[in-house]
């Protein structure tokens, strides 16, 4: 009789322990998913900031025409962001026919970058 009561108690303790660990695991999974989302947003934010910095350095501060290597580097960086809106606006800027439209598209690009950074905070 004593062994049966001890066995039942041990089984109940193990079941309760499994339930507690199951609940803790569930909450840990939720926290992990939230952290993964934040990490992804921060990585995207970093890529956009890097791209914006390069745009300022290579395009806005350029004394003359932007070199082919710099344009290629900018193109690769905007693609690394994996942001279709940003890429579309970059393409509008690069396909501008005259200086006035290029300036307007650059303003639009910088506005889009700022908007993206506000959304990712």
pLDDT in tens, the chain (121 residues): 688 999 999 999 999 999 999 999 999 999 999 999 999 888 888 999 999 999 999 998 988 888 899 999 999 999 999 999 999 999 999 999 998 999 999 999 999 999 888 765 5
Domain ranges of the chain: 36-119
Q: What is the dihedral of CA 47, 108, 61, 90, to 10 degrees?
A: 60
Query: What is the value of pTM for the model shown?
Result: 0.75
Continuous segment of H or E residues that includes residue 6: helix 2-55
Count the neighbouring beta carbons within 10 Å of the beta carbon of residue 1: 5
CA distance 18 to 20: 5
């Amino acid at each position: 009789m004593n062994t049966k009561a001890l066995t039942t108690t041990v089984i109940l303790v193990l079941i309760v322990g499994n339930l507690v660990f199951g609940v803790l695991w569930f909450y840990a999974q939720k926290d992990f998913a939230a952290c993964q989302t934040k990490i992804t947003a921060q990585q995207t934010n970093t890529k956009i900031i890097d791209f914006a910095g390069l745009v300022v350095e290579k395009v806005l501060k350029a004394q003359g025409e932007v070199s082919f290597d710099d344009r290629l580097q900018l193109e690769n960086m905007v693609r690394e962001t994996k942001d279709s809106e940003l890429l579309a606006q970059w393409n509008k800027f690069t396909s501008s026919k005259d200086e006035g439209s290029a300036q307007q598209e650059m303003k639009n690009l910088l506005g889009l970058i700022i908007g993206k950074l506000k959304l990712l905070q």
